[in-house]
Chain A
Amino acid sequence: MRPEMIVLQNGRVLDPATGVDGARTVRIENGRIAAIDDPGARQPAGAQVLDCAGRWIVPGLVDLHVHLREPGEEYKETILSGLRSAVAGGFTAVVSMPNTKPVIDNAHLVRFVLDKAKEAGLAKVYPSGATTKGQKGEALAEYGDMKSAGAVMMTDDGHPVMNPGIMRRALEYAKAFDLPIMVHEEDLNLAAGGCMHEGTVSMRLGLKGFPAAAEDVMVLRDIELASLTGGRLHIGHLSTAGAVRAVREAKRRGLRVTAEATPHHFTLTDEAVATYDTNAKMCPPLRSQEHVDAVLEGLADGTIDAIATDHAPHSSVEKDVEFERASNGIVGLETAVPLTLALVRRGVIGEKRAIELLSTGPCRAFGLPGGTLAVGAAADVTVIDPAAEWTVEPASFESKGRNSPFGGWKVQGRAVLVMVDGRIVHGGEQRSR
């Protein structure tokens, strides 16, 4: 349904980009934000009016880190099912990861992702391409060609670029196209096959852990390489106190460094692994409380630019096995909003900062369109009911993945209406009048 005009009434507009926070009426015309009016303003006749009483009207949420699994692993997720999951979670745009089969390291595959996303007609997809050919860490992929096809960022996510010489060239070369390089920071020699955070819990469980230092040393290395090259560095799924410190210091130095943290890393500790639950297995691994506290501090003080889910659906084939053998990752898109709002209720961050981390911040980090409800902007809008209480039931996920450590959790806060370019792609049926 795409009427010419939609009016979101009685809601609280919360837009960190324009600084608006209060009761407003949002008028959308022809897929764009036409006006942000006072609550009582008269609206033109013929508009579809949606009542948003008690709800927040925010710029569409944007996830910088999503595994859509297509091509190659469609049994885990397809671009269509991944985007259904995205809009169900309140996201109007996602950045897709290139570690598919085959690896997205050329313009043809970038176009394939964009074509599939267009067919789905749900959230927008901004594809990323591989930093190195085949994500092997050996030779640079074709950044210019991929950017021309629509890629917004380069990453070997899932794998660190172990060779510092290659990493230097990646940061240098990407400058020609003003592309950020996103990094998965894990020194494989220090990680040495570990399957969880190294500490008291891994010691007790007899699972091979790897230390936080495996992340820290790579973050420090790459920040120095960003300094050397002047390239744009984005630290993916940052999880350690050392990484937070390093990014804070890099920003202080004025380097072009941004960072994201995931809801699971700021919500759970490595104690979640205590029953060998493979749903709690991820990389970077869940850390101990001191690291979680540091990530929370980074979210609050602006060190961390974005909350990204690292949505990583797997099937039971990968998860219903011995912990050491299980694949890393969780379904993230559908639980990000309540887990982020839990931080607001705990007083870690304010409401505006929460929306900034989920929308404005991600767009700013990668220079993406969106992240604002400014008049004239594309009408990518998410309406959140911050009071909605619900129980996480993985069996009901829109994602094909069921791998979530939050199954059974009673949570609060949910996206109830999602619009992309002014078109309702999720919810909204109940409150229309």
Chain B
Amino acid sequence: MAHPRQHLLGIESLARQEIESILDSATSMKEVLRRDIKKVPALRGKTVINCFFESSTRTRSSFEIAAKILSADAVNWSSSGSSTSKGETLIDTAKNLEAMRPDIIVIRHGASGAPNLVASRVGCAVVNAGDGAHEHPSQALLDAFTLRERWGSLEGRTVAIVGDIRHSRVARSNVYCLQRLGAKVRLCGPPTMLPLGVEALGCEVTSDLRTAVGGADAVMMLRIQTERISESLFPTGREYSRYYGLSRAKLDWLKEDALVLHPGPINRGVELEPEVADGDRSVILDQVENGVAVRMAILLRAAGAGPEATSA
């Protein structure tokens, strides 16, 4: 069955059924990913441009591997040393890339809404790989996939998201995604990292870590994005770690089988003590593997192909 070509600009506009459809598709993709010969012809003849205006290793590699497993031709474009650094506007860059007839543009950009702007000006599908402090939909989908893989369903579960909620695109996308799949979300961080108006997200909000993680089924620790924080939001990394980092001692606050997630890269010793990051509750490396499977599903959807395309 052919699917219409679709952008993925964020989770906020997705219905539960659409999210579940992507996660279901990712289940098949993970099976492909684990084969000895990781290659299916689903996107043969299609071109994917990974257009990264912000540095990224994990997300870009993940999209690139996903595209290649699906037999798409993946091209990596980065803004450093490009026409952008010569002053070209985002719209001109996007239109020039579009003129090369790609089927999908995967875009990461430091400005919130940049993928929306590109999507409004190009004819191909646009996938948001993280825009400013807005959304990071593929991250939220891979997080949900990881949790669903462990639990079967997110219905009735409680997930605590801890850290810089204000600047986190991961937090926003996860709130929408987890809530839509039936989970309760708690947000926790120092008040300087909780944005004004956060209550509109419909989450429990607290600045007390113990309250946030107590009884939660999973704890998602956010990375302190020192490169994005220009203001003084906390006095020192030492104090942040003491009140908002997850140490081995604090694991006692969690439910016995609670999972620990982190979108990476980890600031070891700040958000997570190494023993926690590498401990048996951590599913951080599962997240990375599942990221490829989920991004395969996202690319299939964007190209207008269903998961059945991989069975050929």
Query: What A residues does B200 contact at CB under 8 A?
Result: 200, 203-204
Point out which of A203, A211, A322 has the most chain B C-beta atoms below 10 A from its C-beta: A322
B225–chain A nearest beta-carbon distance, Å? 13
* Given contact pairs A200-B200, A276-B117, A322-B117, A207 touches B91 in the complex (Cβ within 8 A): no
Which of A198, A211, A276 lies in contact with B116, CB distance below 8 A? A276
Q: Does B15 contact A (CB under 8 A)?
A: no
Q: Smallest CB-CB separation from B92: which chain A residue? A: A320
**Contact size range, A:** 20 to 34
With A and B bound together, what is the CA distance between A200 and B200 in angstroms?
Answer: 6
With A and B bound together, what is the CA distance between A322 and B91 in angstroms?
Answer: 9
B262–chain A nearest beta-carbon distance, Å? 20
Q: Does B196 contact A (CB under 8 A)?
A: yes
Query: What A residues does B112 contact at CB under 8 A?
Result: 205-207, 276, 323-324
Q: Does B305 contact A (CB under 8 A)?
A: no
Q: Smallest CB-CB separation from A324: which chain B residue? A: B111
Query: What A residues does B198 contact at CB under 8 A?
Result: 203
- Taking CB atoms and an 8 Å cut-off, the chain B residues in 111-133 that contact chain A are 111-114, 116-117, 131-133
Q: Does B278 contact A (CB under 8 A)?
A: no
Contact A208 B133 (CB under 8 A): yes
Q: Does B235 contact A (CB under 8 A)?
A: no
- Taking CB atoms and an 8 Å cut-off, the chain B residues in 166-196 that contact chain A are 169, 172, 195-196
Query: What A residues does B91 contact at CB under 8 A?
Result: 320-321
- Taking CB atoms and an 8 Å cut-off, the chain A residues in 155-213 that contact chain B are 192-193, 198-209, 211
Q: Does B108 contact A (CB under 8 A)?
A: no
Query: What B residues does A211 contact at CB under 8 A?
Result: 196
Q: Does B267 contact A (CB under 8 A)?
A: no
Which of B12, B117, B131, B197 lies in contact with A199, CB distance below 8 A? B197
Contact B134 A205 (CB under 8 A): yes
Contact B114 A322 (CB under 8 A): yes
A130–chain B nearest beta-carbon distance, Å? 29
Contact B197 A203 (CB under 8 A): yes
Contact B196 A203 (CB under 8 A): yes
B15–chain A nearest beta-carbon distance, Å? 18
Q: Does A431 contact B (CB under 8 A)?
A: no
Query: What B residues does A202 contact at CB under 8 A?
Result: 195-197
With A and B bound together, what is the CA distance between A370 and B12 in angstroms?
Answer: 52
Query: What A residues does B201 contact at CB under 8 A?
Result: 203-204
Contact B197 A322 (CB under 8 A): no
Chain A 354-383 near chain B by CB (<8 Å), digits 1 or 0: 000000000000000000000000000000
Query: What B residues does A432 contact at CB under 8 A?
Result: none
Which of B89, B117, B134 lies in contact with A206, CB distance below 8 A? B134
Contact B111 A322 (CB under 8 A): yes
* Given contact pairs A203-B196, A206-B112, A324 touches B132 in the complex (Cβ within 8 A): yes
Contact A209 B196 (CB under 8 A): yes
Contact A200 B134 (CB under 8 A): no
Query: What A residues does B114 contact at CB under 8 A?
Result: 322
With A and B bound together, what is the CA distance between A276 and B200 in angstroms?
Answer: 19
A101–chain B nearest beta-carbon distance, Å? 20
With A and B bound together, what is the CA distance between A205 and B195 in angstroms?
Answer: 11
Contact B195 A203 (CB under 8 A): yes
Q: Does B280 contact A (CB under 8 A)?
A: no
Q: Does A325 contact B (CB under 8 A)?
A: yes
Q: Smallest CB-CB separation from A320: which chain B residue? A: B91
A224–chain B nearest beta-carbon distance, Å? 26
Query: What B residues does A209 contact at CB under 8 A?
Result: 195-196
Contact A321 B89 (CB under 8 A): yes
Q: Does A430 contact B (CB under 8 A)?
A: no
With A and B bound together, what is the CA distance between A324 and B90 in angstroms?
Answer: 12
With A and B bound together, what is the CA distance between A41 and B135 in angstroms?
Answer: 69
- Taking CB atoms and an 8 Å cut-off, the chain B residues in 132-188 that contact chain A are 132-135, 169, 172
Contact A207 B230 (CB under 8 A): no
Q: Does B231 contact A (CB under 8 A)?
A: yes
Q: Does B295 contact A (CB under 8 A)?
A: no
Query: What A residues does B109 contact at CB under 8 A?
Result: 322
Contact A207 B197 (CB under 8 A): no
Q: Smallest CB-CB separation from A208: which chain B residue? A: B133
B222–chain A nearest beta-carbon distance, Å? 14
Contact A206 B135 (CB under 8 A): yes
Query: What B residues does A203 contact at CB under 8 A?
Result: 195-198, 200-201
Query: What A residues does B131 contact at CB under 8 A?
Result: 206
Contact B113 A207 (CB under 8 A): yes
* Given contact pairs A206-B112, A206-B172, A276-B117, A321 touches B133 in the complex (Cβ within 8 A): no
B84–chain A nearest beta-carbon distance, Å? 11
Contact A201 B197 (CB under 8 A): yes
Q: Smallest CB-CB separation from B194: which chain A residue? A: A203
Contact B113 A276 (CB under 8 A): yes
Q: Smallest CB-CB separation from A317: which chain B residue? A: B89
* Given contact pairs A206-B131, A206-B169, A323 touches B197 in the complex (Cβ within 8 A): no
Chain B contact residues, CB within 8 Å of chain A: 12, 89-91, 109, 111-114, 116-117, 131-135, 169, 172, 195-198, 200-201, 230-231
A-B contact pairs, 10 of them (CB 8 A): A202-B196, A206-B113, A206-B134, A209-B196, A276-B116, A320-B89, A321-B90, A322-B111, A323-B113, A324-B111
The 3 closest A-B pairs by CB, nearest first: A206-B134, A276-B113, A200-B197
Chain A contact residues, CB within 8 Å of chain B: 192-193, 198-209, 211, 275-276, 320-325
Q: A209-B195, A275-B116, A320-B91 are in contact. List 20 more A-B contacts (CB 8 A).
A: A198-B196, A199-B196, A199-B197, A200-B200, A202-B195, A203-B197, A203-B201, A204-B200, A205-B112, A206-B132, A206-B133, A206-B169, A207-B132, A321-B89, A321-B117, A322-B109, A322-B113, A322-B117, A323-B117, A324-B111
